[in-house]
């Protein structure tokens, strides 16, 4: 019989209520939400059913004093993530830390040092690493069917959103680079499969309130020559595909509906001879008139996740497409890996070192972009 872990959720706002709590609730045999903490009294009221048996606290310190809380999952504001995680580690708790795991690279190094002092206690909530489409793409890349990979694209266009909460303010470390950025940069680094040696980026503020970025473009080149294109935008009314991978024998695309992978590649039996450029007059034809290429085209259903997909706390039925206006979707799969790591000592798939690298690349992207908030934006009001 599995040992049930007792969890305290720190931060009872949108993430704590509609992401952490319902995801944990999918594993009643593994987890019990034993406590919740938030400094704001109204956030400790009108909580969803997952908190029915939870003790509620007005501060992190009060919850850390609860001896029954074994695991603290941190869902507070961005700048508080690292200090809250370190305090929980120092109190002897296991910690699941939401993104961004740190808001600066030096802060990420502090987190790494704390993790080293308390090995096996810190787990990064890079839940997008466990998405079915992403992992199916990685599997196809590994087969070699696409040949030598030269280009990967990771896009998210969560709809045209004129957002106005605190995540639109730079003084709170808001913006899409802090919000969606850690997820997609982590995925891009996994698909890049090599250290980043060069990076270009552009951040823009277009339709949201505040002064933080709502459109992100990052191009990264790996030491292996592969290029990763990352784009996040809440200004796109026509979303692009989620993933694209190009190799020297074929390409794949994952459309935004996230149900299939479109694959077009050379027949595995197709042999490609050496080519030599013709410097003189060439037949009036395009390409190579002496070569007949045979392609295979497939629409491959994306393998379902081992866990479940949720949208604002509701479990989606198998094959159901998330409502475009329904908000954030998430995978609960991550929590089964956390439980196995704590109770069985199995390695957690996301390392702290990988999280630190995501922060480093994010900070480099912000610096390379030269982003300056619009003069017309709020620029700090309300902070």
Contacts of 54 (CB under 8 A, 6+ apart): 9, 33, 34, 35, 36, 47
Kindly state whether residues 184 and 282 are assigned to the same domain: yes
Kindly state whether residues 284 and 208 are assigned to the same domain: yes
Kindly state whether residues 86 and 144 are assigned to the same domain: no
Kindly state whether residues 117 and 138 are assigned to the same domain: no
Range of the domain at 50: 5-125
Query: Among 259, 232, 235, 257, which residue's Cα sits nearest to residue 155?
Result: 232
Kindly state whether residues 165 and 298 are assigned to the same domain: yes
Kindly state whether residues 156 and 283 are assigned to the same domain: yes
Q: What angle do CA 158, 39, 87 make, to 5 degrees?
A: 90
pLDDT tens digits for range 204-249: 999 999 999 999 999 999 999 999 999 999 999 999 999 999 999 9
Q: How many CB atoms lie within 10 A of CB 296?
A: 14
Structure tokens at 227: 């290029």
pLDDT tens digits for range 186-205: 999 999 999 999 999 999 99
What is the percentage of the chain residues whose pLDDT exceeds 70?
93
- pLDDT of 304: 81
Report the C-alpha gap between 322 and 302 in whole angstroms. 15
Last residue of some domain: 255, 290, 309? 309
Rounded alpha-carbon distances, angstroms, from residue 75 to 16, 36, 65, 68, 81: 5, 11, 18, 19, 8
For residues 158 and 234, the answer to whether their CB atoms sit within 8 Å is yes
Rounded alpha-carbon distances, angstroms, from residue 265 to 133, 228, 249, 289, 328: 19, 20, 6, 19, 33
Last residue of some domain: 77, 103, 125? 125
Kindly state whether residues 121 and 148 are assigned to the same domain: no
pTM of the full structure: 0.92
Rounded alpha-carbon distances, angstroms, from residue 133 to 151, 187, 234, 279, 307: 17, 11, 21, 44, 13
Question: Average pLDDT of 58-69?
Answer: 98
Kindly state whether residues 178 and 298 are assigned to the same domain: yes
Kindly state whether residues 94 and 139 are assigned to the same domain: no
> Residue 183: how many CA atoms within 13 Å on its side-chain side?
21
Query: Among 307, 263, 229, 310, which residue's Cα sits nearest to residue 137?
Result: 263
pLDDT tens digits for range 96-147: 999 999 999 999 999 999 999 999 999 999 999 999 999 999 999 999 999 9
pLDDT tens digits for range 261-276: 999 999 999 999 898 9
Rounded alpha-carbon distances, angstroms, from residue 20 to 5, 25, 51: 14, 9, 11
For residues 39 and 10, the answer to whether their CB atoms sit within 8 Å is no
Q: What angle do CA 180, 229, 331 make, to 5 degrees?
A: 35
Q: Check which CATH number belongs to the domain holding 279 and give it.
A: 3.30.360.10
Domain count of the fold of the chain = 2
Q: Check which CATH number belongs to the domain holding 55 and give it.
A: 3.40.50.720
Judged by average pLDDT, the poorest of 10-19, 129-138, 203-212, 366-375 is 366-375
Last residue of some domain: 309, 337, 360? 309
Summary mean pLDDT of the chain: 92
């Amino acid at each position: 019989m599995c040992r049930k872990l007792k969890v305290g959720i720190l931060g009872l706002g949108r993430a704590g209520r509609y992401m952490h709590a319902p995801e944990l609730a999918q594993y009643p045999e593994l987890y019990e939400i034993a406590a919740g903490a938030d400094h704001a009294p109204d956030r400790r009221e009108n909580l969803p059913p997952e908190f029915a048996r939870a003790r509620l606290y007005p501060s992190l310190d009060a919850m850390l004093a609860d001896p029954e809380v074994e695991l603290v999952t941190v869902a507070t504001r961005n700048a508080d993530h690292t200090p809250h995680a370190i305090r929980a580690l120092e109190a002897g708790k296991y910690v699941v830390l939401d993104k961004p795991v740190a808001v600066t690279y030096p802060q990420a190094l502090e987190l790494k040092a704390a993790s080293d002092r308390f090995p096996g206690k810190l787990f990064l909530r890079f839940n997008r690493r466990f998405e079915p489409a992403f992992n199916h793409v990685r599997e196809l890349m590994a087969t070699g069917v696409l040949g030598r990979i030269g280009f990967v694209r990771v896009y998210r266009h969560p709809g045209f959103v004129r957002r106005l909460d605190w995540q639109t303010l730079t003084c709170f470390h808001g913006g899409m680079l802090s919000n969606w950025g850690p997820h997609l940069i982590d995925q891009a680094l996994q698909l890049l499969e090599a250290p980043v040696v060069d990076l270009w980026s552009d951040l823009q503020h277009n339709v949201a309130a505040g002064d933080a970025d709502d459109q992100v473009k990052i191009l990264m080149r790996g030491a292996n020559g592969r290029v990763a294109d990352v784009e996040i935008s809440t200004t796109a009314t026509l979303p692009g595909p989620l993933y694209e991978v190009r190799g020297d024998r074929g390409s794949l695309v994952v459309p935004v509906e996230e149900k299939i992978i479109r694959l077009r590649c050379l027949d595995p039996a197709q042999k490609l001879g050496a080519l030599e450029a013709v410097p003189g007059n060439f037949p009036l034809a395009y390409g190579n008139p002496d070569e007949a290429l045979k392609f295979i085209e497939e629409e491959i259903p994306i393998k379902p996740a081992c866990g479940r997909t949720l949208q604002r706390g509701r479990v989606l039925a198998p094959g159901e497409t998330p409502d475009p206006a329904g908000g954030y979707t998430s995978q609960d799969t991550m929590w089964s890996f956390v439980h196995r790591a704590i109770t069985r000592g199995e390695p957690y798939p996301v390392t702290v070192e990988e999280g630190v690298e995501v922060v480093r690349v994010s900070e480099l992207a912000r610096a390379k972009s030269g982003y300056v908030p619009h003069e017309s934006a709020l620029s700090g009001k309300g902070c």
